[in-house]
């Protein structure tokens, strides 16, 4: 274990002594523990290695591999609020009128046409979130070496590092990727993966703000982009070609957190229902 720097000791004090979550709120531990057999989830170790951060909790065998710096997570959360607002606009909720399929396609095409501007804006906005390659978790490091575009690389790695819910979903769905089928027909394989992703989301698919609807729109935008842009096809093909899927695959620790109470009812990780994951969680605890 390397020596922990002063700012990490400060972070440890913030989380351990005051039990704050990443948003500066008092943490509700019931979201993370089985109330039938409560476990004190105080942080035991916060390790910085050449393979990212490893957080260990007292009484729990499996570490969590994500950076949970409060200020970093808050910074990411600010911009994540844009997503629901875009959802309100796209799917017509509140002050926005409902969009038909042709209007959604037009919005998707506009996003593709102005993608360089949008990418530049987001990359600049998140400029304080990026880490050196060896400080990211394992899936993020693999994406770091696979993505040639610096801005795309930094944004993707920041999301995978600071947002565990998205990172676990990413690992879960990438385990389903068939490289051979992707190289034959990228659009078809990407559509298949997004179909699995939306099927596993355990929310109201008719709710315009649901993740189910967000994945559906991203699937539509990617399909249009792959039809219109050979450059995008080549970029995605190069990324997939450079990926070692075994490195991204969920570890035993990842599977533990996928089955933990924090994610019961939200997403069917590994294709397992909530009841099946509850059973697996008890077996692993």
Kind of pairing between the strands at 43-49 and 52-57: antiparallel
Question: Residue 45 pLDDT > 80, yes or no?
Answer: no
Question: Residue 276 pLDDT > 70, yes or no?
Answer: yes
Give the chain's radius of gyration (CA, Å).
Answer: 20
pLDDT for 172 equals: 97
pLDDT for 255 equals: 95
pLDDT for 210 equals: 75
**Whose structure tokens read 């989301």?**
201
Q: Where are the alpha helices (DSSP H) in the chain?
A: 6-16, 70-80, 82-91, 101-113, 115-125, 138-146, 150-162, 164-174, 179-184, 186-200, 211-228, 230-242, 245-248, 252-258, 274-284
SS3 46: strand
| Structure tokens given for 248 | 């991204």
pLDDT tens digits along 233-272:
999 999 999 999 999 999 999 999 999 988 887 899 999 9
Predicted confidence band of residue 64 (pLDDT cuts 50, 70, 90)? confident
In this prediction, residues 144-158 reach a mean pLDDT of 94
pLDDT tens digits along 5-43:
333 343 344 333 333 333 333 344 333 333 222 223 344
- The pTM is what? 0.76
Question: Residue 77 pLDDT > 80, yes or no?
Answer: no
In this prediction, residues 54-71 reach a mean pLDDT of 74
pLDDT for 182 equals: 96
Question: Residue 207 pLDDT > 80, yes or no?
Answer: no
Predicted confidence band of residue 51 (pLDDT cuts 50, 70, 90)? low
């Amino acid at each position: 274990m390397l020596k922990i720097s002063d700012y990490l000791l400060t972070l440890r004090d913030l989380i351990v002594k005051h039990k704050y979550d990443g948003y500066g709120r008092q943490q509700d531990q019931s979201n993370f523990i089985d109330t039938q057999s409560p476990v004190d989830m105080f942080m035991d170790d916060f390790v910085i290695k050449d393979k990212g951060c490893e957080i260990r909790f007292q009484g729990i065998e499996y570490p969590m591999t994500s950076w949970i710096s409060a200020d970093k997570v808050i910074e990411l959360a600010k911009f994540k609020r844009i997503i629901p607002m875009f959802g309100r606009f796209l799917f017509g909720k509140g002050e926005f009128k409902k969009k038909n399929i042709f209007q959604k396609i037009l919005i998707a095409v506009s996003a593709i046409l102005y993608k360089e501007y949008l990418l530049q804006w987001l990359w600049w906005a998140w400029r304080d979130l990026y880490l050196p390659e060896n400080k990211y978790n394992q899936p993020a490091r693999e994406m770091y070496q696979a993505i040639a575009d610096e801005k795309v690389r930094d944004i993707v790695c920041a999301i995978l590092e600071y947002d565990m819910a998205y990172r676990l979903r990413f690992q879960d769905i990438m385990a389903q990727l068939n490289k051979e089928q992707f190289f034959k027909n990228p659009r078809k394989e990407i559509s298949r993966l997004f179909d699995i992703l939306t099927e596993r989301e355990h929310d109201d698919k008719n709710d315009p703000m649901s993740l189910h609807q967000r994945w559906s729109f991203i699937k539509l935008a990617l399909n249009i982009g792959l039809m219109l842009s050979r450059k995008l096809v080549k970029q995605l093909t190069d990324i997939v070609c450079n990926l070692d899927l075994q490195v991204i695959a969920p570890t035993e620790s990842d599977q533990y957190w996928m089955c933990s109470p924090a994610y019961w009812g939200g997403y069917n990780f590994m294709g397992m229902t909530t009841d099946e994951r509850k059973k697996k969680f008890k077996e692993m605890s």
